[in-house]
Amino acid sequence: MRRLFDILAALLLLVLAAPLMAAIALAVKLQDGGPVLFRQERIGRLGKPFTLLKFRSMTMSRPGAAITASGDRRVTPLGRVLRAYKLDELPQLWTVLRGEMSLIGPRPEVPCFVNAGDPVWQAVHRVRPGITDLATLVYRDEERILAGYDDPERAYREAVLPAKLALNLQYIERRSASRDLKLLALTVRYSFIPRGFDPERVREAILS
């Protein structure tokens, strides 16, 4: 039933968002002539790698860390807007249709942050990764949080990622259709109206 819901919802959202996605694609192309999509290998269900798609929000000429913190000079002016409202994630609806992702599930990580031999990672990888999940919503201001550290990548690996994995496991253990719908509704709300966001209230609302 979850897979059927994913397919129908992704198709509907793609139709509704098609004009917006076309406008974003044109804007990304016009800003510097580079590719519209950003492609990156992520680890999915059962530890299988797949290609994650996003609208490109960074310049092409600045190599850097795998983690992005607020103020990162690689992010373009357009990219800042796309990332603020999570619009760069829209191409992942195609990945949902392909079956590599779900609307709701643990966010897939890049291989360098994954420890395949860790039982925690193995438990997380038993479910299909998603566009949104409890950890993603609770840490929606992750870039701002990481900007407060001298070494954002280390802070992500040692502090933020373990906390997100713990939330992944809590949600997987308590997952239900009603919680999925509530999570989707809160994700949409705080993506477009971030005012008043409180991570503790969100965590309580979903897990209670």
Residue-wise pLDDT for 163-181, tens only, equals 999 999 999 999 999 999 9
Q: Which domain holds residue 16?
A: 2-207
Show the CA angle centred on residue 72, arms to residues 89 and 146, nearest 5°: 80
Residue-wise pLDDT for 58-109, tens only, equals 998 766 677 787 888 889 999 999 999 999 999 999 999 999 999 999 999 9
pTM for this prediction: 0.90
* Other residues' Cβ atoms within 10 Å of the Cβ of residue 195: 5
Domain count of the fold of the chain:
1
Tokens matching residue 136: 């993603």
Q: What is the DSSP letter of 159?
A: I
Residue-wise pLDDT for 14-53, tens only, equals 999 999 999 999 999 999 899 999 999 999 999 999 999 9
State the alpha helices, DSSP H only, in the chain: 2-32, 77-84, 92-98, 119-124, 134-138, 142-146, 152-155, 161-174, 177-192, 199-207
The answer to whether residues 163 and 136 touch, using CB atoms and an 8 Å cutoff, is: no
Name which of 104, 94, 114, 135 is nearest 43 in CA terms: 114
Beta strand 130-132 pairing with 102-104: parallel
